[in-house]
Amino acid sequence: MNHQPQSFDSSQAQSPDELVGMMARAGRAAQRVLAGMDSAARASALRLAAKHIRSGAEAILAANAQDVEAGRANGLSPAMLDRLVLDEARLEGIASAVEAVAALPDPVGQVIDQSERPNGLRMSRVRVPVGTIGIIYESRPNVTADAAALCVRAGNAALLRGGSEAAQSNRAILAAFQKGLVEGGVPEAAVQLIPTQDRAAVGAMLTASGLIDMIVPRGGKSLVARVQQDARVPVLAHLDGICHTYIHAAADPQMARAIALNAKMRRTGICGAMETLLIDAGFGEAKALLGDLLDAGCELRGDARICALDPRIVPATDEDWDTEYLDAVLSAAMVDNLAGALAHIDRHSSAHTDAIVTDDEAAAEHFLAAVDSAIVMHNASSQFADGGEFGLGAEIGIATGRLHARGPVALEGLTTYKWLVRGTGQARP
């Protein structure tokens, strides 16, 4: 049995397009087998993959040590090194996450709806795997196992392309993962890793229409921007999380202060963090609320009315309203009313997550209906924008596009549907 990352000789490929084509065709063939397996068999293969990640810890950590050493030599930043480094606890986290995905309810085969026509034809829509998913990611080696597990759970082949900093770690994790798949009856080409030495392979993935059905970029803004710019294959992604929280005139002051502080400062680097605060002119405790943020170490950039409330607030520029800081920095504007808040959000939101804080139910429902973002919240911190918090168990990503899937995307977003028509000999009149 061959446990190499690829089940064919990728060195025969003459070009990046040919390499991606060979791997995608091998993936498609493996995907057909995967789609024909039942849910329990796919889950069992994932549990075996977790087992082999645990039993292969020594090899994986040794490979990771090589990556970390090379990263240090190449001057990777401490933050990047921290994302890269694995230890026994992190590896156990990776294995457990694969088991958690194995335990998720299987969307494949779900009947979305069904009906019987007057002529007796019985129609149903049934969830099926999307097919082959390309995942392009950066330095976190855990994505190798996380993304592969989600794809396989929903019956998809995965073509993984990780960062070169994590090349050894990714290969070692994949080898362990594939051992489990093969033991569980899944062809190893169901999950493949595109060699990092071939830099042009990313471009070949992005244009592989008909070979790759969907691309999910996992990483920083420059990666996502490049993928969105160049891809001809559909992309599931969010570029920015310019999330707004609007404190309405009828907001409970304590609740507003607690939500604003949490939405900005709990973790400033996540896509659901608040980046712009909108305060209604009728809200009485704006000064106290802004003071909480300033006291917590947040830099505030305000419009004229906001700046007038505290000398520590600096004036915002036009650019601030369209900036995702991912840091302890916040833009803040005062708006005259709900309509003013909606106009600001319509103009500046990145359609990720926007929230209102108010005790006025009518205002809340108006906001929920009018804001055209993937996630719209009432009386909650935008930091809840996360598949786990939404009860999805895991997420492949958060999408701000409008088609197929929006917001946190988990297993359902890795499926599509087909129509089944069952007849008794009907010919169309």
Q: Which residues contact its own copies by CB under 8 A? A: 32, 35-36, 115, 117, 121, 123, 128, 130-131, 213-214, 234, 252, 255, 258-259, 261-263, 266, 346, 364, 368-370, 372-381, 383-384, 389-391, 402-404, 406-408, 416-428
Output 72 or 117, the one with its CB closest to its own copies: 117
CB 231 to its own copies: min, Å: 9
Output 288 or 304, the one with its CB closest to its own copies: 288
Output 85 or 225, the one with its CB closest to its own copies: 225
Alpha-carbon span 197 to 314, nearest angstrom: 46
Alpha-carbon span 378 to 401, nearest angstrom: 22
CB 389 to its own copies: min, Å: 7
Residue with tokens 């400033």, as numbered in its chain: 268
Of the candidates 17, 207, 30, the residue with the CA atom closest to the CA atom of residue 131: 30
Output 183 or 359, the one with its CB closest to its own copies: 359
Output 198 or 322, the one with its CB closest to its own copies: 322
Give just the sign of the alpha carbon dihedral 216, 219, 224, 227.
negative
Sheet holding 214-218, edge to edge: 191-193, 157-161, 132-137, 214-218
CB 326 to its own copies: min, Å: 16
Alpha-carbon span 353 to 270, nearest angstrom: 12
CB 87 to its own copies: min, Å: 25
CB 163 to its own copies: min, Å: 26
Alpha-carbon span 178 to 184, nearest angstrom: 10
CB 375 to its own copies: min, Å: 5
- The radius of gyration of the chain from alpha carbons, rounded to an integer in Å, stands at 24
Output 287 or 422, the one with its CB closest to its own copies: 422
Output 44 or 400, the one with its CB closest to its own copies: 400
Per the structure block, which two tokens stand in for 164? 């070169």
DSSP string computed for 248-276: -TT--HHHHHHHHHHHHHS-TTSTTSEEE
Output 109 or 284, the one with its CB closest to its own copies: 109
Per the structure block, which two tokens stand in for 423? 């007849």
Alpha-carbon span 101 to 50, nearest angstrom: 10
Q: Are 263 and 383 in contact (CB under 8 A)?
A: yes
CB 50 to its own copies: min, Å: 25
Output 84 or 290, the one with its CB closest to its own copies: 290
Q: φ and ψ at 177, to 5 degrees? A: -60, -45
Output 167 or 263, the one with its CB closest to its own copies: 263
> How do 111-116 and 122-129 pair as beta strands?
antiparallel
CB 72 to its own copies: min, Å: 34
Alpha-carbon span 33 to 191, nearest angstrom: 13
What is the crossing angle of helices 167-183 and 142-153, to 10°? 30
CB 189 to its own copies: min, Å: 16
Buried b (16+ CB within 10 A) or exposed e, 192-203: bbbbbebeebbe
CB 418 to its own copies: min, Å: 6
Q: Is 147 left (phi over 0), alpha (psi -120 to 50) or beta?
A: alpha
* Biggest CA-to-CA distance, the chain: 80
